[in-house]
Structure 1
Amino acid sequence: MSGVVIVVPTYNELPNLAGLVDDLHRHVPSAEILIVDDDSPDGTGQAAELRSASDGRLHVLHRATKDGLGAAYRAGFAWALAEGYDTVVQMDADGSHRAADVPVLLQALETADVVLGSRWVPGGSVVGWPRARQLLSRGGSVFARACLPVTSADVTGGFRAFRREALERIEPQTVMSRGYCFQIEMLWRANTSGCRVREVPIEFAERQEGKSKMSSSIVFEAMARVAWWGITQSPKRLSRPARQPTGRIRA
């Protein structure tokens, strides 16, 4: 198999599921979708399974328990590589990432190995976040850049596209982070494995339905892991990769 698969982890995202699938089919009709559901008690997985029975572009991977964002993405990436897809996109299920921006990421991937949908480059924006949360997100990226050999403006974002070869070099199955720190570790590995990383601006909107999965324990895990990596892997900071150009590409 070849082509594009969009990996979407879900946990209690039933109110957002149908709209997300419809939007992705409209904006990226040739892409397929993989829902990775962590046994959602609200029936998200069952609803996805029911729709997939009549939708050949929709696939569902059921996991037995809620075990963190990183574990869900590891399972989704492993499935995508095993099925032979050439391009893998990751995005949130809650509407924060716009399906209309997927073609932008894919076009940028023509000259890169990994593309980040960035909130913090010129042209990027966040809608519906209080100032404190914006500062927390920006501060997380600043902290990661200070500790690790990464130069991207948006280190923690979860809207990304990968060439197959990039995922194989990054080896996501060996990434140990469970929460949102998974995004930082994946980007760190992309940089240190020599992947060409590019950022394109996106609009990020706060979810309208459902409940955020962010918690203080997730923030603590990210800070602790990044600090530890910075201490133990500090020699790698001597060979920081050149910053990649940014800019919006029109599909």
Structure 2
Amino acid sequence: MPEDTGARPLVLLPTYNERENLEGILDAIFAAQPNFHVLVIDDASPDGTGDLADRRAEADERVAVLHRSGKQGLGKAYVAGFEWGLAHARGYTHLFEMDADFSHDPRYLAALLRACTEGGADLSIGSRYVPGGGTRGWPWHRQLLSRGGGLYARTLLGLELRDPTAGFICFARHVLETLDLHALATRGYGFQIELKYRAVRAGMRVLEVPIVFVERERGQSKMDGKIAAEALVKVLELRLRG
């Protein structure tokens, strides 16, 4: 548990139209890790996700909500969450990226934290493509997009990570304090590649922890062709900049 290591973890949970999933994922996080805190980062969801998050925060001191004025991209949501967490008086020691749609199972939170507190990692990644990891419920084209995108990023950027596009991550606080978060240029899912690339370039040690990624059952995926294209272009730009 976090008290044993002195860790004070914060889970960042970006949301846009996740009303169907929000209460369930919060319950699942606290069932797995009662002492974790959660920051819901809502981009003015039209379906009322932000209002639901506010009601939950009023009833549970472990939950906080950061409201943003509109849908501005996953990368900007996480940067806002990182800054909120780093500035908080509680002194969070580890900050997590995690999806709100149950694609990321909260039971893996403990393993990701242990990889940092006991395994010597500066950041740990919930990886689909190391032994023991995998996906469930994905159609073939999602498999192709994910594996192809990972291979593209590894090849162009020289990354040794098996899952550079992964979005289930634990960061030790000093990683986020070291990186220039405002230098991150990618707004969509390419943000995950860029952030890992910059961390590796800064000399951070990364460990990959096997997880099984599950396709969402409720709500709509935010991935689309425009987001995928942005990731391809930004990876190339990172490579050209060296």
Unaligned runs of 5+ in 2: 1-5
Q: Verify the 8 A CA contact 1:3 1:31 in the aligned structure 2.
A: yes
Q: Following TM superposition, by how much is the alpha carbon of 1:45 offset from its aligned partner in structure 2, in angstroms?
A: 0.5
Give the TM-score taking structure 1 as reference length: 0.91
What CA RMSD, in Å, does the superposition of the two structures yield over aligned residues? 1.2
Supply the distance in 1 between the matched residues of 2:183 and 2:77 (Cα, whole angstroms). 13
What does the per-residue CA deviation read over 1:166-185, in whole Å, with 9 as the maximum and x for residues that have no partner?
11122323212100010001
Q: Number of paired residues?
A: 233
Unaligned runs of 5+ in 1: 234-251
Q: 2:108 aligns with which of 101, 104, 122?
A: 101
What does the per-residue CA deviation read over 1:157-215, in whole Å, with 9 as the maximum and x for residues that have no partner?
10000000011122323212100010001000110001010001001000000001011
Q: 1:91 aligns with which of 91, 98, 101?
A: 98
Supply the distance in 1 between the matched residues of 2:237 and 2:59 (Cα, whole angstroms). 47
Specify the SS of the correspondent of 1:108.
helix
User: Which residue of 1 is the match for residue 206 of structure 2?
Assistant: 197
Q: 1:18 aligns with which of 3, 14, 23?
A: 23
Supply the distance in 2 between the matched residues of 1:116 and 1:16 (Cα, whole angstroms). 23
Q: Following TM superposition, by how much is the alpha carbon of 1:231 offset from its aligned partner in structure 2, in angstroms?
A: 2.1
Q: Following TM superposition, by how much is the alpha carbon of 1:230 offset from its aligned partner in structure 2, in angstroms?
A: 1.3
User: Which residue of 2 is the match for residue 222 of structure 1?
Assistant: 231
User: Which residue of 1 is the match for residue 67 of structure 2?
Assistant: 62
Supply the distance in 1 between the matched residues of 2:60 and 2:10 (Cα, whole angstroms). 14
| Percent of aligned pairs with the same amino acid | 46
Supply the distance in 2 between the matched residues of 1:170 and 1:157 (Cα, whole angstroms). 19
User: Which residue of 1 is the match for residue 122 of structure 2?
Assistant: 113
Q: Verify the 8 A CA contact 1:78 1:173 in the aligned structure 2.
A: no
State the one-letter code of the partner of 1:127: R
2:56 pairs with 1:51:
yes
1:96-245 correspondence runs (5 A):
96-110=103-117, 111-233=120-242
Supply the distance in 2 between the matched residues of 1:15 and 1:92 (Cα, whole angstroms). 13
Supply the distance in 1 between the matched residues of 2:92 and 2:131 (Cα, whole angstroms). 31
Q: Following TM superposition, by how much is the alpha carbon of 1:2 offset from its aligned partner in structure 2, in angstroms?
A: 6.6
2:9 pairs with 1:4:
yes
Supply the distance in 2 between the matched residues of 1:179 and 1:25 (Cα, whole angstroms). 28
Specify the SS of the correspondent of 1:53.
helix
Supply the distance in 2 between the matched residues of 1:113 and 1:107 (Cα, whole angstroms). 11
Supply the distance in 1 between the matched residues of 2:20 and 2:182 (Cα, whole angstroms). 30
Q: Verify the 8 A CA contact 1:149 1:188 in the aligned structure 2.
A: no
